[in-house]
Amino acid sequence: MKLKRLTTAISAACVAATLAPIAHADDLTLCWAAWDPANALIELSKDFEGKSGHNMSFEFVPWPNFADRMLNELNSGGKLCDLMIGDSQWIGLGAEAGHYIKLNDFFDANNISMGDFIPATVTGYSEWPKGTPNYWALPAFGDVVGWTYRKDWFNRADLKSEFKGKYGRELDVPNSLAELKDIAEFFQGREIDGKTVYGAAIYTERGSEGITMGVTNALYNFGFEYNNPNKPYDLDGFVNSDGAVAGLEYYKALYDCCTPPGSSDWYMSENIDAYKSGQVALQMNFAFIWPGVHADSNVGGDKSGYFPNPAGPGGHFAQLGGQGISVVSYSDSKDAALEYIKWFAQPEIQKQWWELGGYSALRAVVEDPGFASSQPYAQTFLDSMAIVKDFWAEPSYASLLLPMQDRVHKYVIAGEGTAKEALDALVDDWTEVFEDEGKL
């Protein structure tokens, strides 16, 4: 990728002075999830070690265990992590419980402006309370749920002809969730190259956050709202609106009609495996997987394409993923940790981050004229980040997530009750949480 020369308000001399090797070298530990971007960050961080003299260690935990492991670490006041790349939904807890240090003064002193980052990532990863200029993290990794599809299958003349005859339109990237379901049904159980394939791999995992991160891509686009926009924590009629019920029914219908056998507890890695092994025509997953798909020997290159989560009858949104990087308040090396954040915020480092497979949230990178054509999935990333919506980022995030996982999984996967009953019960669950917190 060739981007225009990036500029920064921090002069090169100032950066060099700040990150020059120092007499006392700190040992810093950065905590994050165990996934491909973490490996890219290890490589990127070698530059920081060379310039600063500090030594970097990394604690990476698999996604299904990431929240439990790291939230326990924070809640116990543990000193394992100096830097935390925590999930977007943790920002309220990190701020109000005192786990993260507030970064406003540091940003001001070092000419780091939140206006230089994609607005949705600032709101999602850095702000608490939401909508206020109070920052507890630097946007570190932009991510969002999108879709991968077998472009080579879509381009087969026999399949294109059959699909058009059945649906009266071209077999192409869907413009709506209804069209996506048609495509998934078309491929379900079909034989391609002597192998039975299926329609779509979607998020269904029960144990951590999987089905919530999946179903919201339908709920949002049918009209679900977390609360009354004019009255915070007023849930009834918004969480369980007619549109929200229809969205939950859609997700169940998509699961019932169009997913592989045995996919009742799938999240990121299972979807990746199903797609790369040629089991499915469509894959729901976070954008972080796209570099790996593109490079894959079985499905990479021109065999795959990418598109944003399609619109529904009530809106056009996609579930925000991604994380900000924070300094843990219990660290004994806060000054060195802040040096890392200053280094990471530099445009040249952010450019390298994208080139290594990290998803930069810096506008100077993603708004450069060369960005959209730099990778086959770059434009889809931009389009997807323009329609993001996130789960609750309240300090009670975990208490809000658990009942949603339970209610949605029981309805979608186990077939218990109705969508309306599931969402009515979720309203009761969430209302109890907010009552216990004194917010109702």
- Is the distance from CB of 343 to CB of 207 less than 8 angstroms? no
The overall average pLDDT reported for the chain is 94
pLDDT grade for 253, boundaries at 50, 70 and 90: very high
- Is the distance from CB of 317 to CB of 166 less than 8 angstroms? no
DSSP β-ladder status, 191-192 and 138-150 = unpaired
Task: Give the Cα separation of 201 and 275 in Å (integer).
Answer: 8
pLDDT grade for 25, boundaries at 50, 70 and 90: confident
Query: In this predicted model, what pLDDT tens digit does every residue of 345-386 receive, in sequence order?
Result: 999 999 999 999 999 999 999 999 999 999 999 999 999 999
φ and ψ of 313, to 5 deg: -70, -15
Mean pLDDT of the region 190-195: 97
What is the DSSP secondary structure assignment for residue 111, as one 8-state letter? T
Query: In this predicted model, what pLDDT tens digit does every residue of 229-252 receive, in sequence order?
Result: 999 999 999 999 999 999 999 999
Which stretch of DSSP H or E encloses residue 136? none
- Is the distance from CB of 271 to CB of 283 less than 8 angstroms? yes
pLDDT grade for 8, boundaries at 50, 70 and 90: very low
pLDDT grade for 24, boundaries at 50, 70 and 90: confident
Distance of CA 94 to the CA centre of its chain: 18
Other CB atoms within 10 A of residue 196 CB: 12
200 pLDDT exceeds 60? Answer: yes
Q: Please give the structure tokens belonging to residue 184.
A: 């998934």
Task: Give the Cα separation of 128 and 124 in Å (integer).
Answer: 9
Query: In this predicted model, what pLDDT tens digit does every residue of 116-169 receive, in sequence order?
Result: 999 999 999 999 999 999 999 999 999 999 999 999 999 999 999 999 999 999
Domains of the chain from N-terminus onward: 12-142+322-389 (3.40.190.10), 145-319 (3.40.190.10)
Q: Please give the structure tokens belonging to residue 15.
A: 């950066």
50 pLDDT exceeds 50? Answer: yes
1 pLDDT exceeds 60? Answer: no
Query: What's the pLDDT at 19?
Result: 54
Using left for φ > 0, alpha for ψ between -120 and 50, and beta otherwise, residue 53 falls in left
DSSP β-ladder status, 388-389 and 27-33 = unpaired
Query: What's the pLDDT at 367?
Result: 97
Task: Give the Cα separation of 414 and 11 in Å (integer).
Answer: 58
Which residues on neighbouring strands pair with residue 327, listed in sequence order? 83
Mean pLDDT of the region 58-63: 96
Does the predicted TM-score (pTM) go above 0.85?
A: yes
Omega before 310 cis (within 30°)? no
Query: What's the pLDDT at 15?
Result: 40
CA of 277: how far to CAs of 56, 274, 281, in Å? 36, 5, 11
